[in-house]
Amino acid sequence: MPKVIGVTGPWLKLTVQRYRQDLLKVNYLDMRRALEDAIWKIEGRNGAAIRLGMAPSTLRERIKKYGINRSASTEGTSFNSS
């Protein structure tokens, strides 16, 4: 998060919200890319979880959280930051 000293109010809130949204979108895109590269295999030696450095159960939770599915295109992403 950007370090802002002595700044409060709406500007700081918007900066934090934008940072969080950008970080979530990057995570979403990284997961999509790893899943596509792994041909949607989650577990195992060539699975997406290994590529992302996380447990398969964690990846499954995040897939559900972000609403990632095979039919969504990476370009016109259906990413939802809620």
- pLDDT value of residue 1: 55
| Token couple for 78 | 């259906």
Domain boundaries, the chain: 10-66
Tell me the C-alpha distance between 24 and 40, whole Å.
20
- pLDDT value of residue 71: 80
The model's pTM is 0.69
- pLDDT value of residue 76: 44
- pLDDT value of residue 52: 96
pLDDT tens-place string over residues 9-64: 676 777 888 888 999 999 999 999 999 999 999 999 999 999 999 999 999 999 99
* Residues ≥6 apart with Cβ < 8 Å to 41: 47, 48
- pLDDT value of residue 10: 72
Say how far residue 34 (Cα) sits from the centre of its chain: 11
